[in-house]
Amino acid sequence: MADLGIARINNDMNANGTLTRADLADVVHRRLGLSRAESAGVVERVLHHMCHALAVGQNVKVSGFGTFILRDKGQRVGRNPKTGVEVPIAPRRVMTFRASQIMRDEIAKG
């Protein structure tokens, strides 16, 4: 994650500790010198391509960041914890995220 120093943008997060699209666009604006509108467009296009790939069933791997993995879960039987009644849980597709070793090491360092 050495590219553009994006891994160390702690100062760029908003007050509640969440990195938003606007924060990412601002980093692109400041580091690459694109206009704010162009920067927001770049961020939106990247996120759109990632979402589209996931929507059509592709996994998304961002080197040095992690992998978004799709899994198809079959139907199963669940139980209402309050009443104990069994209910069928429909089959569905779920997305999981597995952080890269680089990211896990960065998080562990704090």
**67 vs 63: CA distance, rounded Å:** 8
pLDDT at 7 over 50: no
Note the pLDDT tens digit of each residue in 38-96: 999 999 999 999 999 999 999 999 999 999 999 999 999 999 999 999 999 999 999 99
Output the pTM of the full model. Answer: 0.74
**70 vs 96: CA distance, rounded Å:** 6
Asked if residue 73 and residue 35 are part of one domain, the reply reads no
Closest CA to 25 of 8, 9, 42: 42
Q: Which domain holds residue 69?
A: 59-110
The pLDDT assigned to 17 comes to 86
- The two three-digit tokens of residue 37, written as one number: 């509108």
Asked if residue 108 and residue 73 are part of one domain, the reply reads yes
- The domain total for the chain is 2
